[in-house]
Amino acid sequence: MKLPTFSNIGNFFPKVKPRAERKTGRPFRVAQIEVTSRCSTGCVFCPHDALSAKWVEGDITFGTYREYIVPHLDLFGLIYLQGWGEPMLHPHLWDMLAIAQQKGCRTGFTTNGNRLQDEQNKKLVDTGVDLISISFAGTEAAIHEYLRTHSDFYGL
């Protein structure tokens, strides 16, 4: 059996465009910004829980976001508000998303889904968030709820 080499794989690996051929205006595709280190669930695989005795919970202040992040938003195509915390716990999440959109960015975030209720779902639609990822810890309730405590697989 002959193993593939880079020369005979063909177009399997995309070709990186030279810098001069990249779209102008927004040199970076994505900025991931952790807006909070707080979370409403517990996950056996998460450093938030594994390091709970040393973990520092908190939010990026809205002032810090406006002063240090907003001036640079025009460098990015997508602003993704996510990290080890649950973005929907941040009191200014919707404001941050709206500002990024006003600066011409697409927006998105990853959530554990616990706060996806009618009011929040309406805000998602009204704000026009481009991308939302919901993190599941398994394909069955028993697995999900074992790995992600304080969570209901069916009710998220």
Examine residue 71 and state whether it is found in any structural domain, yes or no: yes
Count of domains forming the chain: 1
Examine residue 105 and state whether it is found in any structural domain, yes or no: yes
Q: What is the average pLDDT value for the chain, to the nearest integer?
A: 80
CATH of the domain at 42: 3.20.20.70
The answer to whether the CB of 26 falls within 8 A of the CB of 78 is no
The whole domain housing 136 covers: 25-149
pLDDT at 92 (0 to 100): 96
pLDDT at 133 (0 to 100): 86
Examine residue 2 and state whether it is found in any structural domain, yes or no: no
pLDDT tens string 100-155:
999 999 999 988 777 788 888 898 889 899 999 887 777 787 877 777 776 666 66
pLDDT at 66 (0 to 100): 97
pLDDT at 6 (0 to 100): 46
pLDDT at 131 (0 to 100): 92
| Residue in 123, 120, 147 with CA at minimum distance from that of residue 136 | 147
Examine residue 59 and state whether it is found in any structural domain, yes or no: yes
Dihedral over Cα of 121, 146, 59, 74: its sign: negative
Examine residue 14 and state whether it is found in any structural domain, yes or no: no
The answer to whether the CB of 100 falls within 8 A of the CB of 54 is no
pLDDT tens string 30-42:
999 999 988 777 6
Segment holding 102, helix H or strand E:
helix 93-102
35 exposure class (CB count in 10 Å sphere: 0-12, 13-18, 19+): buried
